């Protein structure tokens, strides 16, 4: 699998080994600067922070010296003092290679972009942590927050009765939720940490109503299990739309699934083999919808007004599918930004008056429901 590179391998390996001892060369400490400047550590510390109690001339001299020596303050030392790390963590299960997914979720990148951007402007670092499952799930949070690797954490993929949330609340570990807090938890009611969420239920309802408005009566809903709030809420929205339109709810049309394209593909294949297949499919995510559309195409079913497909998320990809995918767009970047703002506010000790942000998804109608 791995083969030798172009340059002589042994030599470079050896070369690298020899240079390693120099690794820690020349990262000056505040004491070193003090020595060179002929002042005390404390004076240097103050000068570098532009403390007015140090005369301008001295300040300048010390700052120049520091710059010249490429001085950068040691983060650990600072963190230890301040009992803050200026770091927030994102724990995500989308990073787990093992668990099903297989296909990388573009959703995470968009969220990360928003988070990284906003965090940078607040001078915060972002720690990326893969979620563990089962027994070890809480251990991750204990390690990160108890051990002060980060000051707070962004929690995603909330579940009903989420024991991670209960744990964070009980320990007063600062956090924000992507997804509304489970009001079913006493801890969450007692410690109402902020959350931001896109209205999954309304989104799914609006999407389903769109399909109903096109005349569809047999609408399948493919997606998700019973685990996460977002999937339950979207399913609830679907059922709500049916109810409002006085359409019967047929449990056989509401099909649980995994979250990959493949799941969408296989389940759609199955649906289309029915005697009386549905005339429209609501896929719980755009990723899933990709598989749905592919299956339809493979079965020779043309996606459009007669057989409609709608997704959820509004990934950039959607408009380039065949046909372009109708979807509910979530402002994912925006959510990332807001989550960081909320968390930073909590960490600053000034939580926002209104700690709950509820965003509306936007229906984007494309050819997969409308036709060309």
Q: How far apart are CA 219 and CA 202, in angstroms?
A: 17
In the complex, the smallest distance separating the C-beta of residue 72 from its own copies, rounded to whole angstroms, is 3
> According to CB under 8 A, which residues from 190 to 229 bind its own copies?
191-195
Residue from 264, 262, 304, 313 nearest 280 by CA:
304
Backbone angles phi, psi at 328, to 5 degrees: -105, 115
Is residue 371 within the footprint of its own copies (CB under 8 A)? no
When the beta carbons of 10 and 81 are compared against DNA, the nearer one is 81
* Angle in degrees, CA 256, 260, 265, rounded to 5: 75
Cis bond upstream, residue 323 (ω within 30): yes
Q: Which of 142, 227, 270, 302 binds its own copies (CB under 8 A)?
A: 142
Q: Supply 331's token pair.
A: 């402002």
| One-letter-per-residue 3-state SS of 61-129 | HHHHHHHHCCCCCCHHHHHHHHCCCCEEEEEEHHHCCCCCCCCCCHHHHHHHHHHHHHHHHCCCEEEEE
Q: Give the one entry of its own copies, DNA, none that residue 55 binds, where binding means its C-beta sits below a cut-off of 5 to 8 angstroms depending on kind.
A: DNA
172: left (phi over 0), alpha (psi -120 to 50) or beta: left
In the complex, the smallest distance separating the C-beta of residue 205 from its own copies, rounded to whole angstroms, is 16
Is residue 52 within the footprint of its own copies (CB under 8 A)? no
When the beta carbons of 16 and 83 are compared against DNA, the nearer one is 83
Q: Which of 37, 39, 116, 247 binds its own copies (CB under 8 A)?
A: 116
Q: Give the one entry of its own copies, DNA, none that residue 45 binds, where binding means its C-beta sits below a cut-off of 5 to 8 angstroms depending on kind.
A: DNA
Is residue 80 within the footprint of its own copies (CB under 8 A)? yes
Is residue 77 within the footprint of its own copies (CB under 8 A)? yes
When the beta carbons of 9 and 225 are compared against its own copies, the nearer one is 9
Decide if 179 contacts 156 (C-beta within 8 A): yes
Core vs surface per residue 228-237: b (16+ CB within 10 A) or e: bbbbbbbbeb
Q: How far apart are CA 269 and CA 50, in angstroms?
A: 68
In the complex, the smallest distance separating the C-beta of residue 1 from its own copies, rounded to whole angstroms, is 7
When the beta carbons of 277 and 314 are compared against its own copies, the nearer one is 314
Backbone angles phi, psi at 217, to 5 degrees: -120, -30
Q: Which of 109, 186, 243, 306 binds its own copies (CB under 8 A)?
A: 109
Stretch that binds its own copies, among 12-20, 35-43, 222-230, 268-276 (CB under 8 A): 12-20
Stretch that binds its own copies, among 219-227, 231-239, 271-279, 316-324 (CB under 8 A): 316-324
Decide if 359 contacts 334 (C-beta within 8 A): yes
Beta bridge partners of 178: 196
Decide if 255 contacts 231 (C-beta within 8 A): no
Is residue 16 within the footprint of its own copies (CB under 8 A)? yes
Measure Cα distances from 347 to 11, 92, 174 in Å.
50, 21, 7
Q: How far apart are CA 196 and CA 338, in angstroms?
A: 7
In the complex, the smallest distance separating the C-beta of residue 190 from its own copies, rounded to whole angstroms, is 8
Q: Supply 238's token pair.
A: 């679907």
In the complex, the smallest distance separating the C-beta of residue 31 from DNA, rounded to whole angstroms, is 6
Per DSSP, 313 falls in state B
> According to CB under 8 A, which residues from 271 to 310 bind its own copies?
290-291, 293-294, 297
Binding pattern for the stretch 240-259 against its own copies, x by CB under 8 A and - elsewhere: --------------------
When the beta carbons of 141 and 230 are compared against DNA, the nearer one is 141
In the complex, the smallest distance separating the C-beta of residue 147 from DNA, rounded to whole angstroms, is 8
Query: Which stretches of the chain bind DNA, using CB under 7 A?
Result: 29-31, 38-43, 45-46, 48-49, 53-55, 58, 71, 73-74, 77-78, 80-83
CB atoms near residue 204 (< 10 Å)? 29
Q: Give the one entry of its own copies, DNA, none that residue 41 binds, where binding means its C-beta sits below a cut-off of 5 to 8 angstroms depending on kind.
A: DNA
């Amino acid at each position: 699998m791995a083969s030798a590179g172009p340059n002589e391998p042994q030599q470079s390996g050896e070369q690298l080994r020899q240079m390693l001892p120099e690794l820690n060369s020349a990262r000056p400490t505040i004491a070193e600067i003090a020595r060179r400047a002929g002042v005390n550590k404390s004076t240097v510390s103050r000068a570098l922070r532009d403390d007015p109690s140090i005369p301008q001339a001295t300040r300048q001299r010390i700052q120049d010296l520091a710059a010249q020596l490429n001085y950068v303050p040691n983060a650990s030392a600072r963190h230890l003092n301040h009992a803050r790390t200026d770091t927030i963590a994102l724990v995500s299960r989308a990073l787990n290679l093992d668990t099903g997914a297989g296909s990388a979720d573009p959703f995470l990148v968009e969220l990360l972009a928003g988070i990284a951007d906003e965090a940078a402007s607040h001078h915060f670092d972002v720690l990326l942590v893969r979620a563990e499952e089962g027994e070890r799930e809480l251990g991750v949070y204990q390690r990160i927050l108890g051990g002060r690797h980060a000051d707070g954490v962004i929690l995603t993929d909330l579940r009903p009765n989420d024991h991670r949330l209960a744990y964070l609340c009980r320990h007063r570990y600062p956090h924000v939720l992507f997804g509304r807090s489970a009001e079913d938890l006493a801890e969450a009611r007692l410690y109402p940490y902020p959350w931001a969420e896109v209205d999954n239920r309304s989104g799914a309802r609006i999407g389903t109503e769109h399909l109903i408005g096109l005349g569809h009566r047999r609408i399948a809903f493919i997606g998700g299990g019973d685990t996460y709030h977002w999937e339950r809420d979207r399913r609830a929205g679907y059922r709500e739309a049916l109810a409002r339109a006085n359409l019967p709810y047929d449990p056989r049309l509401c099909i649980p699934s995994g979250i990959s394209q493949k799941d969408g593909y296989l389940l759609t294949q199955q649906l289309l083999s029915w005697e009386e297949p549905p005339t429209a499919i609501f896929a719980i995510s755009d990723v899933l919808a990709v598989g749905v559309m592919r299956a339809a195409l493979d079965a020779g079913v043309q996606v459009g007004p007669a057989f409609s497909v709608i997704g959820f998320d509004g990934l950039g990809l959607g408009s380039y599918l065949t046909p372009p995918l109708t979807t509910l767009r979530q402002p994912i970047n925006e959510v990332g930004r807001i989550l960081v703002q909320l968390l930073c506010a909590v960490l600053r000790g000034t939580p926002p008056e209104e700690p709950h942000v509820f965003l509306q998804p936007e229906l984007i109608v494309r050819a997969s429901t409308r036709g060309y």
